């Protein structure tokens, strides 16, 4: 993976743009999603989302926070996360599954995945630009039924790191 792509992926996680990834970034992402879909933090869906954000952060820290200071710098991200996901993108993506599952529940009240339009709102709330978000979601909905399943979302997350754009 080249430097520009690594920088873009790092920036996606560094939601507040302060130069490192930490727990706050994952909580910011959860808050942004709750605000976008007008869901309170106290309800079951809100609590599930924060639990997923915590698990996602713990997974990321376990992989990439080499010096254990509860911050993942760009250098740690490159040597830790990027190497790990190159070896096994599916396993890397599993650290995101509880968060992604909870995000789907927040974005869509019906069972069985999330509507394409709602999935696009999720990505935009997380700071992905409109055009990129639309393309990403369209590519996830392989069978074109207008919905994206949890597995499709997790797989898309893995591909996001491994497939050249």
Stretch touching Ca ion by CB under 5 A, among 57-65, 114-122, 124-132, 133-141: 57-65
Contact 40, 34 (CB under 8 A): yes
Closest approach of Cβ 8 to Ca ion, in Å?
A: 15
CB 26 within 8 A of CB 14: no
Both tokens of 10, joined, read 């790092």
7 sits near Ca ion (criterion: CB under 5 A): no
Residue 18 in contact with Ca ion, rule: CB under 5 A: yes
- Can residue 67 be called a binding residue for Ca ion (CB under 5 A)? yes
Closest CB to Ca ion among 52 and 80? 80
Nearer to Ca ion by Cβ, of 53 and 148: the residue is: 53
Stretch that binds Ca ion, among 3-11, 61-69, 108-116, 143-151 (CB under 5 A): 61-69
For 17-35, give one letter per residue: b (16+ CB within 10 A) or e: eeebbbbebbbbbbbbbbe
Cα–Cα distance measured from residue 153 to residue 139, given in angstroms and rounded to the nearest whole number: 10
108 lies in the site for Ca ion, by CB under 5 A: no
Q: What is the DSSP letter of 16?
A: T
Q: Which residues bind Ca ion (CB under 5 A)?
A: 14, 16, 18, 25, 65, 67, 69, 71
């Amino acid at each position: 993976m080249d430097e520009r792509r690594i920088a873009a992926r790092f920036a996606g996680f560094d939601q507040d743009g302060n130069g490192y990834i930490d727990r706050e970034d994952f909580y910011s992402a959860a808050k942004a999603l709750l605000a976008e879909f007008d869901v309170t933090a106290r309800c079951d869906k809100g609590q599930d989302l924060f639990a997923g954000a915590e698990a996602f952060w713990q997974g990321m820290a376990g992989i990439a926070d080499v010096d254990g200071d509860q911050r993942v710098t760009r250098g740690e991200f490159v040597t830790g996360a990027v190497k790990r996901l190159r070896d096994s993108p599916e396993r890397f993506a599993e650290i995101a599954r509880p968060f992604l599952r909870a995000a789907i529940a927040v974005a869509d009240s019906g069972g069985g995945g999330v509507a394409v339009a709602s999935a696009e709102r999720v990505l935009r709330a997380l700071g992905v630009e409109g055009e990129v978000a639309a393309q990403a979601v369209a590519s996830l909905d392989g069978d074109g039924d207008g919905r994206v399943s949890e597995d499709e979302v997790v797989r898309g997350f893995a591909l996001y790191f491994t497939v050249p754009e």
